Amino acid sequence: MAINLTPVDRAKYAAARRAVDLVEDGMKLGLGTGSTAAWMVRALAQKVRDEGLRLTCVPTSARTADLARELGLRVVPFEDAGWLDMTIDGTDEFDGNLALIKGGGGAHLMEKIVATASDRMVVITDASKEVKALGAFPLPVEVVPFGWQASRMLIEELLAAMDVMGTQASLRMNGSRPYITDEGNHILDLSLGRIGNPRQLSLALNQVPGVVENGLFIDICDAVVIGFPDGMVELRDITSGTVEHERILFEDTENIFSDV
C-alpha cells in the first residue's frame, strides 16, 4: 500500500505516526481537522487497537468526529472533556517561531479553542508548509453572516495600515453558495502575500465587528513534526529547544489506510 501513496501522503503519514507516539494511556486529546489530521486519526486508531489505550478524544469538526467514531475512537463533546492533555493538528503554514496559519479546512475557530485548552499543541506537517514569513497561504477569518460585507470592508481598510503585501478579502465559496462553517458562519480569505507582524494583525482583526476568529495561531503551538517522503521525521520542540530525527517504517500502511 505504501508504495502507492504520493510523496506528500508518505510525508504526512510519517509525521502522523511520529506524533501519535507521543500519546499515552489515559490522555484527553484534541483531534485536528484536515487532510494531514485525518492521517493522524487513522494512525491513532491503529495505536489504540494495538496497545489497548484508553483515550478521550475531542474533535475540532464534524468530519473529524465522524472519522474518529468510524475508526472506534471514544469521542466526547468538548464540554464533557474539560482541560486536554494534548491537541494534534495540521497546519497550512508555519514559521521558525512555530506561528501558524490554519483554517484552510474551515475549522480554525474550533481548532483554536481546543488547542488553547490543551497543555500542548503538536502540529504535524510536511516540509513544504515551512515559510520564512507567514502570508503566502490566504489567511482565513471567520465572520458572522449578518453584515459580512461591512466586516469585509472594515478588514480591507484595516489591512491598508498593516505590514502586509496585499489587502484583498474574498468570501469563501462552496460552489455557487458561501461556504458555511460548522458554527454557521462565513469565511473571508485574506490574500496578504506576507505578514510582517502576525501578532499585531491577529489582535487587530479580532477587534473588527462581525469577526469571530482569525487563522493566525500565535504562541499556541509547542512542537512541530515534519514528515518527509522517505519516512524521515523531524520533531522540533520549541519549549525544550530540542530537535529530534527518526525514520518511520511504512510496512503497516495497508492495514491503517485500506480505505484511502
**36 assigned ligand-binding residue:** yes
pLDDT by residue (tens digit) across 202-214? 999 999 999 999 9
Q: Which residue has the cell 495505536?
A: 47
CATH 3.40.50.1360 fits 2-131+219-256, yes or no: yes
For 139-215, CATH gives: 3.30.70.260
Q: What is the mean pLDDT of residues 100-121?
A: 98
Supply the pLDDT for residue 256: 54
Q: Where in the chain is the domain with CATH 3.40.50.1360?
A: 2-131+219-256
Which DSSP helix (H) or strand (E) runs through 151? helix 148-159
**129 assigned ligand-binding residue:** yes
C-alpha cell at 9: 501522503
Q: Are 170 and 95 in contact (CB under 8 A)?
A: no
Q: Where in the chain is the domain with CATH 3.30.70.260?
A: 139-215
pLDDT by residue (tens digit) across 122-156? 999 999 999 999 999 999 999 999 999 999 999 99
**230 assigned ligand-binding residue:** no
Confidence of residue 1 (pLDDT cuts 50, 70, 90): very low
- Spatial distance between the Cα atoms of 165 and 200, rounded to a whole number of angstroms: 15
pLDDT by residue (tens digit) across 28-41? 999 999 999 999 99
Q: Cβ of 20: how many Cβ atoms within 10 Å?
A: 24
User: Is the pLDDT assigned to residue 55 strictly greater than 80?
Assistant: yes
The catalytic residue positions are: 111
User: Is the pLDDT assigned to residue 2 strictly greater than 70?
Assistant: no
**87 assigned ligand-binding residue:** no
